[in-house]
Amino acid sequence: MQAAVAGHADELFLQFHKPDPRSQALVVAMHETPANLESSLRAQLDWASKHFRIGTLDDLAELWTRRNGEAIADRRPLLLFTFDDGRESNYTIAAPVLESFGGRGVFFIVPGFAEDALTDHSLSFYRSRFNPDCGPNREVCEDWRPMNPAQIADLANRGHSIGNHTSTHRRLQNLSPAELEFEIGDSARRLASWIGKAADAFAWTFSWDAIDKDAWEVVRRYHRFCFAPCAGVVDASSDDPSLLWRREIEARYSPPEYRLCYSGLMDLWWAGRRKQLRRMLKPTSGIPEWSSRTKA
Ligand SMILES: [Zn+2]
């Protein structure tokens, strides 16, 4: 990797494989953004904004409504930032940094974690649900504090999008219909009651294959956009909003690491997984069920 970066292979790859701004976008998935990483996050966004246009979920939605051949003002492809799990540091650090670059993020929230924000339970929730392998005392240097429902509503008022990340950060495989309804539907209703509108986006937890077709069909009933933890460029000419790709690029990555990630070189390694997910989750009807649903 160091050799690739030293030889500027990452920049070269990005030049030749830059997403097409008319139909393609890059979606980044991040987790912790603690205060000690604020300057690295800012440096990363500064670098990224030279190659991409940092935008919003509405900008992403526009890729599917733009007419073929329609002129676009900005030649830089869209870059959308998403943050998983709803840590307080995403509220205090990531949101204002993103706003200073003109962007708005998608914050994937776990309502069970957010509701614990004002109690002593949040650390035990974090230990058992997010990071079961966390050793004793490791959390002192980890970013385990959740943002609370009032902070989540404030983000929505500032133009950010609030997404669903299940009620309790559960793997969505082999669950009963009642469990799926609790993890997905109940979670969506709680988020809507906090932000006063439907949460359009969903992201499943843990790994690229921690979902099955039954779970995904429930997701489609409640959400227009479903994001996979599987890297790739989003392409509105071939992807459906109900199955979209995200590339994990963390605030803690060094410049050589994030430059390599933004180049897209690593996406090649994920191609087989994208293919498997497309095959496993093939929609049974072409019309997403959410479109017939009245928005809250
Ligand atoms: Zn998560």
pLDDT at 289: 53
Is residue 5 predicted with pLDDT exceeding 90? no
H helices of the chain, where? 2-6, 9-17, 38-51, 57-62, 88-89, 95-100, 111-115, 122-125, 149-157, 177-180, 187-195, 213-222, 255-263, 267-280
- Whether the CB-CB separation of 81 and 54 falls below 8 Å is answered with yes
Q: Ligand 1 centre from 130 Cα, in Å?
A: 7
Q: Ligand 1 centre from 52 Cα, in Å?
A: 25
Work out the mean pLDDT of the chain and round it to a whole number: 89
Q: Ligand 1 centre from 77 Cα, in Å?
A: 26
Q: Rounded mean pLDDT of 159-186?
A: 98
**Is 105 inside a domain boundary?**
no
pLDDT at 69: 62
Q: Ligand 1 centre from 290 Cα, in Å?
A: 23
pLDDT band at 142 (very low <50, low <70, confident <90, very high): low
Q: Ligand 1 centre from 62 Cα, in Å?
A: 26
**Is 214 inside a domain boundary?**
yes
Which CATH number does the domain housing residue 40 bear?
3.20.20.370
> For 36-84, what is each residue's pLDDT tens digit?
999 999 999 999 999 999 999 999 999 999 866 667 778 899 999 999 9
**Is 126 inside a domain boundary?**
no
Is residue 209 predicted with pLDDT exceeding 60? yes
Is residue 196 predicted with pLDDT exceeding 80? yes
pLDDT at 72: 75
Residue predicted with more confidence, 82 or 13: 82
**Is 240 inside a domain boundary?**
yes
Q: Ligand 1 centre from 148 Cα, in Å?
A: 16
Q: Ligand 1 centre from 30 Cα, in Å?
A: 10
Q: Ligand 1 centre from 240 Cα, in Å?
A: 22
Structural domain containing residue 223:
2-85+142-282
**Percentage of the chain modeled with pLDDT above 90:** 73
**Is 92 inside a domain boundary?**
no
**Is 235 inside a domain boundary?**
yes
Q: Ligand 1 centre from 256 Cα, in Å?
A: 25
> For 81-123, what is each residue's pLDDT tens digit?
999 999 999 999 999 999 999 999 999 999 999 998 777 777 8
User: Diameter of the chain by CA atoms?
Assistant: 57
| Tokens matching residue 17 | 């494989």
Q: Which of 18-22, 161-165, 185-189, 238-242 has the weakest average pLDDT?
A: 18-22
Q: Ligand 1 centre from 66 Cα, in Å?
A: 32
| Structural domain count of the chain | 1
Question: Which residues are CB-contacts of 51 (< 8 A; sequence separation ≥ 6)?
Answer: 14, 18, 76, 262
pLDDT at 146: 93
Is residue 162 predicted with pLDDT exceeding 60? yes
Query: What are the phi and psi torsion angles at 121 (to 5°)?
Result: -85, -15
Please, what sign has the CA dihedral across residues 64, 70, 72, 75? positive
Is residue 218 predicted with pLDDT exceeding 90? yes
Q: Ligand 1 centre from 70 Cα, in Å?
A: 37
pLDDT band at 277 (very low <50, low <70, confident <90, very high): very high
Q: Ligand 1 centre from 223 Cα, in Å?
A: 17
pLDDT at 8: 73
Query: What are the phi and psi torsion angles at 71 (to 5°)?
Result: -70, 145
Q: Ligand 1 centre from 72 Cα, in Å?
A: 34
**Is 182 inside a domain boundary?**
yes
Q: Ligand 1 centre from 229 Cα, in Å?
A: 9
pLDDT at 1: 55
**Is 291 inside a domain boundary?**
no
Q: Ligand 1 centre from 246 Cα, in Å?
A: 13
Q: Ligand 1 centre from 86 Cα, in Å?
A: 9
Q: Ligand 1 centre from 108 Cα, in Å?
A: 8
Q: Ligand 1 centre from 134 Cα, in Å?
A: 15
Identity of the amino acid at 91: Y
Q: Ligand 1 centre from 84 Cα, in Å?
A: 5
pLDDT at 282: 79
Is residue 286 predicted with pLDDT exceeding 60? no
pLDDT at 9: 73
pLDDT band at 296 (very low <50, low <70, confident <90, very high): very low
Is residue 236 predicted with pLDDT exceeding 50? yes
Please state at what angle helix 149-157 crosses helix 187-195, rounded to 10 degrees: 60
Tell me how far apart the alpha carbons of residues 157 and 47 are, in angstroms, rounded to a whole number: 28
Q: Ligand 1 centre from 74 Cα, in Å?
A: 33
